[in-house]
Structure formats: structure tokens, C-alpha cells
Chain A
Amino acid sequence: MNLEIVGISVLWTFLFGYIVVGAIDFGAGFFNAYSLLTGKQRILTKVIQRYLSPVWEVTNVFLVFFFVGIIGFFPKTAFYYGTTLLVPVSIGVILLAIRGSYYAFETYGARGHKGYSFMYGLSGLLLPASLSIVLTISEGGFIDMVDGRPVLDYWALFTSPLTWSIVVLSISATLYISAVFLTWYANKAEDREATDLLRKYALTWSLPTIITAGGIIFELRRHNLARYHNILTFWPMFLISFLLFAGTVWLLWKRRSYGLAVGLLLGQFVFAFFGYGVSHYPYLLYPHLTLYDSFTNPVMAISLIVAFILGLCLLIPSLVLLMRLFLFNKNYVRGKEDYHA
């Protein structure tokens, strides 16, 4: 295995981390706002707040880690993606800023302000949509080179069915991941009402997720035949992913082993996400940029990997401590303790 593969694997793993924790966060914000609208706030808010409060800042770091890391390992991505993504990523950043700050404002300053909750919920849905544009662009066909500079073709981007399928997938997957996770969390908190409601949401969003996920593969066939064939060579991974998906839905349906359901859900997305990632090899931006021609010099690559390993030695025990104190602490989850500053 060469350094390029190590680099992209590290980054892809962190992006996966962001997608999972981000999805739980975005979805939770949406369900919270939705419950406010339908008058079911009493059921959901407590469970959601209890999960989100100690971890909201950590979620954001996964994203920062990914975009700093990709510039570090693959500096040329700054040139291609930086130049072309000014508008979509800026909009994403603004949504993120509204979300992050209003979460703190609402939680600590003005508890129960309805306007904040709606903004929080809405921005959580728009964010995955605005960030998923990056994935669409990486499929190729939207960037033209003019005088040696990359230019994004907005018209092609916004009229492409591929773009919209990916947007729909990102939103429904967000809500699905979040609902499954929160079902398990509410069940741990022994909150029957919240569990039932969230289970219903999880089942509702499972169908659109799997349909759009499958649909995108066929969308790609029209958009980029080479990429389509590449994806098909990894069909076993997508098959496993589908079976795991079926397992999650079955467990939810039978109201059984929610913990296992979350595990299967993670497995489903691991296989789908890494299957998709591997099929992208060796391109970072089809067909302009590959892993190899954008990779940083070997000295920097090695020092980044060393820094990464040392950093993980700090991070993993800290994350374990965080989870033991909150996520996996029975008294905290059930709401018997609330030691907020």
C-alpha cells in the first residue's frame, strides 16, 4: 500500500465519520423542529437535547479535519475544488454558521425560542444538500478548463438529474440515519413514546433512501459510462450493503435489538460509502485530477501520517471518555443527572 492510498483512506474515513455524526445531528435538528410543528415536541425534545448537548462541537471538527487533511495530503485539490466551489461551499459555511451558533444561542441563551428551532431544523436539511454538490462535481462533466483554469458550469450542474438524485439521497439518508440512531438512544433512555415515534420516522425514511441510492447508480450510467462500469465491478460491496439495510429495517419492524440495528446501519453505510470511494479510484476529480498527480511530497506525507497517529493516541481515549460519560452512561441518558454548567 502506498502513501497516497493511506492518505485518502484516512480522509475518507473521517468524511464517513462526519457523515454519520453530522447526519445524526442534522436529522435531530429537523425532527426537533418538525415535532414543534406537529405539537409532539414534548415527546422528542428531551431525548434530542440530551444527546446533542455535549457533542455538538465535536461534530464540526470532523468536517474541519477532512478539509484541512485533504489540502495537506492533496494540495492540488485547493486549486481545482477551491476555485470552482466558492459559491456552494460558501453557502454551506453560512448554513453551518447559522446552525452552530443558533444551537448555542438557543440552548444556553433563549431556551424554547421557536424561530431558532425552525432555522436550526431547516439549515440541517439544506446543509447535506449543499455539501453533496462536491460529490456530484467529483463525478466529472461539470468543470471546464478555460485558459488552464477550472470553471464550474452551473447550468449543466443544476439541470443534471444526477445532481438532484444525490441531493435527495443526502437528505433522506440524513433523516434515516438520524432516526435509527435516535430510536436506539430513546430506547436506552426507556422513553417508550419517543422510541415509537422515532421508529416510525426511521421506517418512513428507509424507503426513499434505498430507492435513490439504487437510482443513482443508473443515473451514472447516463452521465458517465466509465464510472458506471467501475462501480459495477464492486457489486458485492453494494449487495452486502443492501442486505445490511434489509436487516436494519427488519429489526426496526419487529421492534427488536435496536442496538444491533444501529450496528447494521453503520455497516450498510460503510460498505456503500467505501464501495463508492473505491470505485472512484484513482480520480479525485474525474478526469482532471488523480490521487497521484495531486499528492504532496513524501516528506510532508510522512510527517502528516506521524502527526495523525500521535493525534489519534490523544483523540481515541478522549472520545471514549466522552462516550462513557454521556452516550453510554445510563444515568445520564435516562435524564437522572443533568450537571450542566
Chain B
Amino acid sequence: MGNEEAVFYSRVLTETTLSFHIIYATIGVGVPLMIMIAQWVGIRKNDEHYILLARRWARGFVITVAVGVVTGTAIGLQLSLLWPNFMEFAGHVIALPLFMETFAFFFEAIFLGIYLYTWDRFENQKKHLLLLVPVAIGASFSAVFITMVNSFMNAPQGFDIVNGQLVNINPIIAMFNPAMPTKVAHVVVTAYMTAAFVLAAIAAFRLLRGSDHIYHKKALHLTMKLGLVFSIATAIIGDFSGKYLAEYQPEKLAAAEWHFETQENAPLVLLGIMNDGEVKYAIRVPSGLSLLAYSNPNAEVIGLDQFPEDEIPPLYIHYLFNIMVLIGMWMVFLAAWYWIGMRRRWRSVTTRWFRWLIVLGAPLTFIAIESGWWLAEVGRQPWILRKIMRVEDAATTSGQVDLMLMLFSALYVILGIGTIVVLRRMFLKNPVERELADRQMEKGGDVQ
């Protein structure tokens, strides 16, 4: 196998692993916060339903954490196995956040174990709630640190290269690169948003499938409200990310927006398809891109004409960008509709079809998460370290990457099916009505 093939298969394997991992990682970052909020609400309102909500979420969460941990271990090792030259280079500059990420992970792992095995062990429920704080902090901070590494790849700094040697290394400046604030904020907030909508979808699905228990209605209400807050935050930070791109990574923005020529009053291209280098069926918003990029309709936006042809990312990222943004907007709209509808007692928000829309929200947000990551990663092509190291110079020279790709793909299929089967069995066998009844027996009747 020539090196070209090794590069190709390394890219495919990395993409497969990451695409699979981020499903679990997103849940892993977002759900602990939701559990914490549910338990806090339960303690404050003295409402057993919210406590049970936290407990049942925690149980399902364990399964996703397990798969998240093992796929995270896989990608952690694959970075060195598939991209040894990159890791050798990056290790000199950016090892610090990678190292700190393992601490955050360690911290989370310890307290998750304690949290899961101390239900009803403490007299004071607040003590148990306190155990969740390090879990949620650890989960979010692993996302923060690992996203710092990724933003470094987009905006490498904190070192100088003199005659091919790295000098003047400053790990702190490398961590706090220009891409860091928007990327980290976007990743963390979208994880919260996704977790909220996934849990909302579960509640809506149970309501659709027979159970009309107040427990599911409370769950739906709580998660949709959280979903609204986090989806609005996502949209705002997303806008900042666009402004970051215009300033620091114009080729990614230009490729995502099909903005070919540098111009003032740049139009925004929505939807459309590319055929033989011509854009068809697109909606053009005059001056939209200038507005998006600089909050000024007259601003000049750099186009793809400013870049050599071999430094332009693939143009299909435009579709990914559209998918991500449209889904994001749709979810803000849906959650706002729900929230206003519940306050004004609109009938539409309790209908079956509306609940089906909420159920549909879960797969949609995951599609948005995946498209967002593909956009961010493919938009960095051909660089692994923007303007410093090309992808083909970073890859392994090993000849067995294709075989490993097959093995890992089979593994992910098994893990994916396993997750679904186990989660389904766990919750169908033990519906909330039964669990509430059991708890009532244990506690001697003080549960509704």
C-alpha cells in the first residue's frame, strides 16, 4: 500500500471513530448537567418525580458513558497511531490541554461511580446532589480541554519555527488561541442543547406511546425549557463563530458560503446546488454575508479567489453548513413554540403531531452536531495544522490501516446496536409507573 492510501484510510478511520464517538461524547457532556438540574429541582420542590427522573436518566447515562469512554480511548490512541508526525509536533506545543483533559475525565469517573452507588445512602439528599457537581464539571471540562486542542489545529500559535525547529514555545498562548473561545463555547452549549432535546424526545415518545403520566409531562416541560435556553445560546455563539471565521479563517467561511470573489456588500448564499462550478437554485440575500461576518452590510468579505487552489477546502461543506444552521434554527423555533404555547395554553403544543415533531428533534440535533463537526474539520482541509502541516505529511506510513478500518467499523456497529438494545430493554422492562409504585412501597406511602 502506498502512502497515499495510508493517508486516505487514516482519514476515513479517524472520521468514522470521531463521528461515532461524538454521539456519545455529546450525551456525556450534556446529560450530567440535566441530571443535576432535575435532581436540584426535585429537592427544591420536594417532588419525587424529578428525583426519579434524575435516577432514570443516570441509569441510561451509564450505558452511553461506557461506550463514550471506550470510543474516546480509541480516538485518543488513534491520534498517535494514525497521525504520528502530527502528534510528535503537537506534543511539543499542546500536550498541556490533552493532559488536563485526562484529569477532568479522571475526576468525572470517580464521582460518577460514587454518585451511581449512593442512591438513598445519605440522609441528606443535597449531599448526593453535591456529588453530581464534579461529574458535570468534569464532563464539561473534558470538552473544554479537548476542544482547545482542536482549535489549536485551526489557529496554531504559541511557538515559532526557526529553520524547522520549534522555538519560543508557550503552551498557554497555544491553548488560548483565537479559535478557542467560540469553538469551546459552541461545543459545550450544543452538547447541553442536544442532551435537552434528546431527553425531551424520550418524554414525548412515552407520552405518545400510551403512558399519560404526569412524570413524562414534567420531564417534557423541563427539558423543552432547557432546550430553548441552550438553542438560543447556540445560535448566538454560532454567529460569533461566523465572525471569527471571517477574521481568522476566511477560506473556511468562503467555501462554506460559496463566496468566490472578494467583495463589499457580499451576498449570502442559502441552499442551492453546485453543478459544474455553477450555483443553481440558491437564495441570495444581498449583503447578507457582510452582515453576518462583520455586522456591517458594506464590509468587504474575502473570497476564495484570494487563496491558491491547493489550499481551498472542498466546496461540499456548504451543504453541511446549511444543514447545521437550518436544524439549529428549527429547534429554536420549535422550543419557542412549545414554551409560548404552554404559557398561552395553545392546543397545538399538546397534540400528537407536535409531540412527534419533538421526537424528531432528537435525530435532527444529532445530524446537526455531525454536520457541524464535518464542516469544521473538512473546512480545515488540506491542513491538519492550518498553514503549518498538511494532512498527508502527518499520516502514518503503516500498510495495515485499511484492515484496522474494517475492524473498527465492525466494532462500532456492534456497540451501536448493543446500546440501542440494552437501553430499550432497560426502560421497557421497568416503566416509570412500576418504579413509582415500588418506591411508594419502600417509603411507606409518601410518594404520589
Which residues of A are interface residues toward B (Cβ below 8 A)?
53-58, 60-61, 63-65, 67-69, 71-76, 78-87, 89-91, 93-94, 96-105, 108-110, 149, 296-297, 299-300, 303-304, 307-308, 311, 314-315, 318-319, 321-322, 325-326, 337-341
Write the nearest CB–CB distance from A171 to chain B, whole angstroms: 21
Determine the chain A residues whose CB is within 8 A of the CB of B84 once the complex forms. Answer: 78-80, 82-83
Alpha-carbon separation in the docked complex, A84 to B164 (Å): 25
Q: Are B95 and A75 in contact (CB under 8 A)?
A: yes
Whether a CB of chain A sits under 8 angstroms from the CB of B213 is: no
Q: Which residue of the partner chain, among B90, B92, B134, B419, contacts A318 with CB atoms under 8 Å?
A: B134
> Which 6 A-B pairs give the minimum distances between C-beta atoms?
A75-B91, A72-B95, A109-B422, A104-B66, A82-B84, A78-B87
Contact of A71 among B55, B91, B103, B166 (CB under 8 A): B91
List A contacts of B69 (CB < 8 A): 57, 60, 100
Q: Pick the contact of A82 from B103, B171, B396 — CB < 8 Å?
A: B396
List 13 A-B pairs, Cβ < 8 Å.
A68-B99, A72-B96, A86-B81, A86-B400, A87-B403, A93-B70, A93-B77, A100-B69, A108-B59, A109-B426, A307-B96, A318-B111, A321-B114
Q: Is the CB of B106 within 8 A of A325?
A: no
Residues of B close to A318: CB separation below 8 A: 106-107, 110-111, 134
Annotate B56-93 by CB proximity to A: 1 below 8 A, 0 otherwise: 00110011011101111110111011111101111111
B106 touches A82 (CB 8 A): no
- In whole Å, how far is A15's beta carbon from the nearest beta carbon of chain B? 14
- A20 CB to closest chain B CB (Å) equals 16
| B299 at the A interface (CB under 8 A) | no
* B114 A340 Cβ-Cβ under 8 A: no
Task: Contact check, A71 vs B411: say whether CB atoms are below 8 A apart.
Answer: no
- Which residue of A has the minimal Cβ distance to B98? A68
* B180 within 8 A of partner (CB): no
- B120 and A339 within 8 A (CB): yes
Among residues of B, the one whose C-beta sits closest to the C-beta of A81 is B80
Checking B67, B105, B113 against A55 with a beta-carbon cut-off of 8 angstroms, the contacting residue is: B113
In contact, A101 and B106 (Cβ under 8 angstroms): no
CB pair B396–A83 under 8 Å, yes or no, is yes
In the complex, are the beta carbons of B66 and A340 less than 8 A apart? no
Q: How many A-B residue pairs have CB under 8 A?
A: 236
Extra contacts besides A65-B102, A101-B419 (5): CB < 8 Å: A54-B113, A78-B85, A97-B74, A101-B418, A311-B103
Cβ of A76: which chain B residues have Cβ within 8 Å of it?
88
For A93, the chain B residues whose CB sits under 8 A away are 70, 73-74, 77-78
Q: How far is the CB of B84 from chain A (nearest CB, A)?
A: 3
Contact B100 A311 (CB under 8 A): yes
Give A227 Cβ to nearest chain B Cβ, in Å: 25
Say how far A278's CB is from chain B's closest CB, in angstroms.
Answer: 24
CA distance A75 to B88 in the complex (A): 5
Which of B72, B99, B119, B170 sits near A72, CB closer than 8 Å? B99
Closest-CB distance, A169 to chain B (whole angstroms)? 23
Query: Judging by beta carbons under 8 Å apart, are B166 and A61 in contact?
Result: no
CB <8 Å contact, A108 and B62: yes
Residue of B nearest to A301 (CB): B95
- Knowing A307-B96, A315-B103, the reply to whether A104 touches B111 (Cβ < 8 A) is no
Dominant secondary structure of chain B at its interface with chain A? helix
Min CB distance, A340 to chain B, in Å?
6
Residues of A within 8 A of B85 (CB): 78-79
CB distance from A134 to the nearest CB of B (A): 11
Contact of A90 among B83, B98, B404 (CB under 8 A): B404
Taken together as a complex, chains A and B put the C-alpha atoms of A128 and B116 apart, in Å, by 28
Closest to B115 in A: A341
Q: At the interface, yes or no: B270 with Cβ under 8 Å from chain A?
A: no
User: Which residues of B are interface residues toward A (Cβ below 8 A)?
Assistant: 55, 58-59, 62-63, 65-67, 69-74, 76-78, 80-85, 87-93, 95-96, 98-103, 105-107, 109-121, 134, 166, 169-172, 396-398, 400-401, 403-404, 407-408, 411, 414-415, 418-419, 421-423, 425-426
**With A96-B70, A321-B114 known to touch, is A61 a contact of B119 (CB < 8 Å)?**
no
- Contacting residue for B119 out of A75, A87, A99, A340, CB 8 A: A340
Partner of B62, one of A58, A96, A104, A297: A104
Q: Verify A101–B415 contact, CB threshold 8 A.
A: yes
Contact call A57/B134, Cβ cutoff below 8 A: no
Measured between beta carbons, the chain A residues less than 8 angstroms from B73 are 60, 63-64, 93, 96-97, 100
Q: Which residue of A lies closest to B113 (CB)?
A: A54
User: Nearest chain B CB to A34's CB is how many angstroms away?
Assistant: 23
Cβ contact within 8 Å between A54 and B117:
yes
A326→B117 CA distance, assembly (Å): 9
Contact of B107 among A64, A68, A104, A315 (CB under 8 A): A315
Known contacts A68-B98, A307-B100: does B113 contact A58 (CB below 8 Å)? Answer: yes
Considering the complex, give the chain A residue whose CB is closest to the CB of B166: A297
Instruction: Give the chain A neighbours of B89 by CB distance below 8 A.
Output: 75
- Assess whether B113 is in contact with A339, with CB atoms less than 8 Å apart: no
- B426 and A108 within 8 A (CB): yes
Q: Which residue, A54, A65, A99, has most C-beta atoms of chain B within 10 A?
A: A54
Contacts A75-B87, A105-B63: A300 and B119 contacting too (C-beta < 8 A)? no
Taken together as a complex, chains A and B put the C-alpha atoms of A255 and B333 apart, in Å, by: 69
Residue of A90, A103, A299, A341 near B407 (CB, 8 A) is A90
Q: Which residues of B contact A325 (CB under 8 A)?
A: 114, 117-118
Q: How far is the CA of A56 from the CA of B115 in the complex (A)?
A: 14
Q: How far is the CB of B164 from chain A (nearest CB, A)?
A: 15
A71 touches B98 (CB 8 A): yes
Judging by beta carbons under 8 Å apart, are A299 and B408 in contact? no
Bound Cα distance A73, B396 (Å): 21
**A86-B401, A97-B415, A109-B426 as given contacts; A71 in contact with B106, CB under 8 Å:** no
Q: Within the complex, what minimum Cβ distance (angstroms) separates A198 from chain B? A: 23
B414 to chain A, nearest CB (A): 8
For B67, the chain A residues whose CB sits under 8 A away are 101, 104
Q: What residues of B have a CB within 8 angstroms of the CB of A337 in the complex? A: 121
Chain B residues, Cβ within 8 Å of A71: 80, 87, 91, 95, 98
Shortest CB distance A160–B (Å)? 20
Distance of A314 Cα from B105 Cα, bound (Å): 12
